[in-house]
Structure formats: C-alpha cells, structure tokens
Amino acid sequence: MLLTLSAFVLALGLLVTFHELGHYWVARRAGVPIVRFSVGFGPVLLRRRDRHGTEWALSAIPLGGYVKMLDEAPPEADEATRRAVFNAQPLARRAAVVAAGPAANLVLAVVIYAFLGLWGTQEPAAVLAAPPAGTPAALAGVQDGDVLRAVAGEPVASWTQARWRLAEPLSLGGDVPVTLKSADGAVRDATLKLAPQAVAPDDPDPLLAAGLALRAPVPVAGELVPGGAAEQAGLRAGDRILAAGGLQRPSVEAFVRTVQAHAGQPLPLVVLRQGDRVSLSVTPRPETAEDGRAVGRIGALIQAERPEVLVRLGPLDSLWQGVRRTADMSLFTLRMMGRMVVGDVSWKNVTGPVTIAEYAGRTARIGLESYLGFLALISISIGVLNLLPIPMLDGGHLLFYLIEALRGGRPLPERARDLGQRLGLGVVLGLMVLALFNDFARLFS
C-alpha cells in the first residue's frame, strides 16, 4: 500500500508539475507577471519568492498544481504592468501560454520513450503458442513456435511492440497482414481476418480471442536439493525440460503436475543441456501434501524461462520512436474517446485516481522501465485530455480564442463565456463522477 501510494503521488506530482511548467515557461517568455507557482492545492506548507516576484509554493494536497498569472492590472499599476498582464497579451501569445501545458506533457512522453529506447529494455520475444482451432490466428496458419516479425508492414522486435501494433486492429476488425518466422527459420506472410471486438476493462484479452498468445515458458531446473531425486537422476541446474513422460514441451505448471502424479514411479525426461539433448529418468519421492494426498517431489527448484530480447536503439532512432509512439498513442486515445461517444467502446474504460494509483504501484513493483512507461502513458492522457475543446480545460480556452479570432479579435460576450464555463464544469464533474464510479465498481467486483 505504501509503495502504491508513493508511486501514485510521485507520478501525479511530476506530471502535473511538468504540465504547469509548460504554462510557466511560455508565460515568462511572453513577459506575463506570474504571481504563484504551486505544487499541490490547499494551504501552503512552504514558500519562496524569486527575484521576479513569483511565489514558489508547496501546498498540502498533492493532487495537482497551478500557475497563477496576473490576469488584470491593479488600479495602482504602471503602464508597463498594464501591458504585461495576461489578458492584455495578443491572442497568439495567450493561446501559446494555454497550449504550452498539454504540449509539455506530450514532450515529456517523447523524452521518456526516447530514453527507454536509448537505454534499452528487456521485452518478451514474440514467440507464439499454437492457436486454438477456429480462431483467426489458426485460420491464418499460425503454428506453435512462430515468431511474429511484422504487423501491417511495421516490423516488431518484441511481444510488447506486437501488442501495441495489434491494439487498434483488434478493436476495429478487418484484415491485418503479418509476417511470421517459423521454428525452422522460414519466413512467410499471413493475414489475420479479425472481427470487431468490444473494448471494456472486464472483457477477455482480445489477443487471446484472436488466438494470439505467447508460447508457455520452458521449465528450467534451478537449485537442486543435495541427495534429492533430481540430483541422483543426473539433472543439473540450467537444464531445460523438453519432455516429461509423454508430455512434449510442457509448461511449468504441467511439468509440476506430472511430477506430482508420478510419486514412486520412474518418469522419463528429455532435457536440453548446453545445446545437447539428454535423456534421463527420475523417480519422484512420495511426500504427503497438506490435503493428505501422496504427491511426487524431485527436490529441484523449477523456474520459468521465457525468451526475451533487448530492444535498444541509437540516439536518432530513439528520438524518432519517442515522437512516433507519442503521436500514435495520442491519436489512438482520441479515436477511443470518439468511439465512446458513439457507443462503440464501453464507458467503463474511463478510469480515475484509484485505478491510476493501482497501476502506478504495479509498474513500480515490476521495475523502473515499466514505471517510466506508465508515466509516459499517463502524461499523454493528461496532454490529450486537456486539449479537448471543453471549457474549464486548456482546450476550452483555445476554443474561445479560436472564436475570438474568427470574430476579428472580438472576445465572446462575458455571458456566453460564463455559460460555457458552467457547461464545461458540468462535463468535467460528470467525467470525474463516472471515473470514480468505475474505479470503485472494479475495486469491489
């Protein structure tokens, strides 16, 4: 719980601060006086005033932040201050200040993705399992051990990249060309004929419905108990289990079940040791399980080994990946929002702070790479959400500025702006209530 809360507060604080820094940086370049830059809301805990007169504050509620600019000049202000206030700025400058916050979030995502590409990430290799009969993958001729090399003409180096490339085609349906490399090294093309699938958090994984899944990890012998059945049979640490009895390429779970079912009985094994196939016979020793059954034990730690690839790019390729992945994710988010509006995608996908905190904790437990990827994803979501043309959001202000430009520089009447702000507030509050409802519905379901 502590890790989840810490990861959530750190993520939210970092992303919101970066968003507000975008507003601050452009406003400062435009000469707009900035009264306060606050990390957090509510009572101020710490404050410091810089030489420009800006108060930098740390506030008690770490769920956001804000930049307070001088919108109107006080009566006693001099002429220079009157020209510098935000509302006195030309339309283009005001729009640039407002757009800088969401832009900063998108830039942060580009930087994170570029850093991950340059640093390198260990990702599962896209080695596929045999698809169930009748699934699109089976009908396309996918076989056990095939490696997915490209999706819709785009090369994929890992299962993570393959999942991303398949995300939208799986929801929209249609014919998706893929390139496969079989276990014997032959490369061939195939076409997945996908039916549109519903998109909801509680639905089964659409990849599994299409028959696409990673090959089960190979059981590998780890630490051996001295004098145990495995050691006496000649099993060595690092041996990869290729067959157990009549079971070929067993999963870890299937191998353990087979061992347990052969208490006191010889169990033939075929293992791969330093590139050579070795045949062994081990007799699991009977032991009494907690439920009183006699089960077989061989005295070996059995580990799961899944092939992984190191995905690492050069500086320019990393930067291009960051730009492209951020752009793809932004467009994907917008398309998903549009499909929610027309009813093609479930509104259950709208999530709030509880779900975000849960995923912050999960990714933090996995490691720094996963947590940084999570930060990039949420940063894109914040950037895209704030650009929506809804009053109360940055995009709503930009919409007002667009109308002002179309009116020849004349702002909307104050009454119209107030009505828009109220409608926008209603939409934002409604989305917040929906997000919290979905969060707690998942939490208690």
State pLDDT tens for residues 337-347: 888 887 777 77
Residue limits of CATH 2.30.42.10 in the chain: 123-215+306-311, 218-304
* pLDDT of res. 251: 86
Average pLDDT, the chain: 88
Q: Domain 123-215+306-311 is in which class? A: mainly beta
- The tally of CA atoms less than 13 A away on the side-chain side of residue 406 is 7
Question: At what angle are helices 315-342 and 91-119 packed, to 10 degrees?
Answer: 120
User: For residue range 41-74, what is the model confidence (pLDDT) as tens digits?
Assistant: 888 889 999 888 899 998 888 777 889 998 888 8
User: For residue range 117-169, what is the model confidence (pLDDT) as tens digits?
Assistant: 999 888 899 999 899 999 999 999 999 889 999 999 999 999 988 988 888 88
pLDDT tier for residue 429 given thresholds of 50, 70 and 90? confident
Residue 437 pLDDT greater than 70, yes or no: yes
User: By percentage, how much of the chain surpasses pLDDT 70?
Assistant: 98
Instruction: Return the bridge partners of 38, or none.
Output: 57, 66
Domain 218-304 in CATH 2.60.40.1260? The answer is no
100 within 8 A of 22, measured Cβ to Cβ = yes
User: For residue range 90-99, what is the model confidence (pLDDT) as tens digits?
Assistant: 999 999 999 9
Residue 445 pLDDT greater than 90, yes or no: no
Residue 435 pLDDT greater than 90, yes or no: no
CA distances from 432 to 192, 341, 353, 354 (A): 38, 16, 9, 12
pLDDT tier for residue 200 given thresholds of 50, 70 and 90? low
User: For residue range 246-280, what is the model confidence (pLDDT) as tens digits?
Assistant: 888 888 899 999 999 999 999 999 999 988 999 99
Told to judge if 20 belongs to the known catalytic residues of this protein, a careful annotator would answer yes
User: For residue range 306-352, what is the model confidence (pLDDT) as tens digits?
Assistant: 888 888 889 999 999 999 999 989 998 888 888 888 777 777 878 88
* pLDDT of res. 292: 77
* pLDDT of res. 10: 86
298 within 8 A of 229, measured Cβ to Cβ = yes
pLDDT tier for residue 198 given thresholds of 50, 70 and 90? low
Return the higher-pLDDT residue of 341 and 300: 300
| Across 393-401, average pLDDT | 92
Any idea which residue has 């490339």 for tokens? 165
